[in-house]
Structure 1
Amino acid sequence: MKISRILVSSTAALALLTTSACVTDPNTGERKASRTAIGAGLGGTLGYLLGGAIGGDTGRIIGAGIGGSAGAVIGKQYDDQIKTLREQTAGSGIDVEEVGDQEAILVRLPDGVTFARGSASINPGFYDTLNSVADSLVQYPNSLIDVFGFTDTTGSPATNQRLSEQRAQAVADYLIARGVARSRIETRGYGEDRAYLRVPTADNVDEPRNRRVEIKIIPISQEEVNQARGR
């Protein structure tokens, strides 16, 4: 699987654009370009998706005590987890997308719904949806979890950077409180960088697509566990 992840990096950007080009707005039923496809058009957006785990995976695998999944099993677990996540979050506005050749699962929490403008407090109305995500992470323990925070461009870059870090940590803390092992999770804030395109609303006013958090779930194989432990 390690070799497969390396080989697929050169083509995964195209796969993301072609396989996730459209999604359905849960509120209107309208088909629109997916946020992955929109983001990819801005250049370096895909780098953090196609790269490895934050800080590298060797130390994290050992620290998290991950057992890993056999090669024949990990693909099925990957497909099952995506299916479960999509079913459990249907209608919530969450996007659950495949990254590369079973390299990761990306869970995009809705723009402007997870957090209010300028806030790092999770909206209580979103708790049930996050509970479903946490339950899935507990059910499938052989993975590392990266949580990325983003902001819109309101405020100074320094303020937005700090806010993005706080948002990522708020989601990580919530998942931990719901039973996800702390040792599996790392966080990173990107501030107002890697912004999506601004899209016109019904009132023809540009709406920032950046008040969001993304959860990257990286499945770990038994081969990778063995490599991390020097076997």
Structure 2
Amino acid sequence: MTIKKFPLVLAAASLTFVAACDPAGPNQMQNTQQGALIGAGAGAVLGALTNNDGSVRERNQAALIGAALGAGVGAGVGNSLDRQAEELRRALRNDVGVSNNGNNLVVVLSQDLLFATNSTQVSRVSQNELRIVANSLNQYPNTTVNVIGHTDNVGDASFNQGLSERRAQAVSAILLGGGVSPNRIRSIGAGENNPIASNLNASGRQMNRRVEIVITPN
């Protein structure tokens, strides 16, 4: 297959699927379409490579079939993330963040909401929110879940590291208690290493004290 023909095949397969998506609004189905495009690209490449010994026409056909199949798989993943994200936003409190970048969902809970100072005991309010997350994870079982604890930089770095690990484990325990399979969950302590705001002021430090639940399709 010539280099010139391959992009035409990929573009045709990708645009055909995107054109079929619901154009209800500029932000609707965004991750579904993104997943379709990514899947189409991967599928087209795989289709062409697996039929590398055939004629140009056969390789073009294989690439087109691969793109179509890949678009369907990619769109399914994107659509699932879109639905789960919207359901979580409706069900969780406004102070619980839910972001969807098309590859994974990130649920962010402030550690000030989750825990008292220097504590690893999850508050009752946060236990309720985590049970909602657990229920969502059970409804969408084909994902991997990384629970990542973060701290600000106040105090000893080694203490903060250990605290972030214990808090991630405490959040994971609530998810496990909600019926999520232990094979899906990994607890990670990031300590003070990944701030999202400045540690030079109180509001920034508060943002840095958090637990992220990263939900990634398998």
Structure with higher Rg: it is: 2
Shift of 1:160: 0.6
* Distance change in 2, residues 1:72/1:210 (3 Å): closer
| RMSD between superposed Cα atoms in Å | 2.1
Counterpart selection for 1:206 from 197, 202, 206: 202
Question: 1:117, 1:110 → 2: CA distance?
Answer: 12
Residue 85 of structure 1 corresponds to 88
Corresponding residue of 1:218? 216
Question: CA offset at residue 114 of structure 1?
Answer: 1.0
Deviation per CA, 1:74-126: give whole Å up to 9, x if none.
Answer: 222111101101111142x1110012xx2111111124111122121111222
Instruction: Tell me the amino acid that sits aligned with residue 153 of structure 1.
Output: N
**SS at 1:122 equivalent:** coil
- The aligned residue for residue 175 of structure 2 is 175
Distance 1:145 1:136 in 2: 12
Residue 71 of structure 1 deviates from its aligned partner by 3.9
1:169–1:187: 8 Å Cα contact kept in structure 2?
Answer: yes
Cα contact 1:199–1:206 (8 A) shared by 2: yes
**1:72 Cα deviation from its structure 2 partner:** 4.2
Deviation, 1:152, is 2.1
* Aligned equivalent of 1:188: 188
In the alignment, what sits opposite 2:76?
Answer: 73
How does the TM-score come out when normalised to structure 1?
0.58
- Gap change, CA 1:183 and 1:210, over 3 Å in 2: same
Segments ≥4 residues shifted beyond 3 Å: 69-72
If asked which structure has higher relative contact order (CA below 8 Å, sep 6+), I would say: 1
Identity %: 36
Hey, what's the Cα distance between the residues in 2 that align with 1:163 and 1:111?
Answer: 11
Q: What's 1:116 paired with? A: 116
Q: With structure 2 as the length reference, what TM-score do the two structures score?
A: 0.62
Given that residues 115 and 212 in structure 1 are in contact (C-alpha distance below 8 angstroms), is that contact kept between their aligned partners in structure 2?
Answer: no
Q: Is the 8 A contact 1:108 1:212 kept in 2?
A: yes
- What one-letter code is carried by the residue in structure 2 that aligns with 1:161? Q
- What pairs up with 1:104-183 in 2 under 5 angstroms? 104-183=104-183
C-alpha separation between the residues in 2 aligned to 1:189 and 1:174?
A: 16
Cα contact 1:144–1:185 (8 A) shared by 2: yes
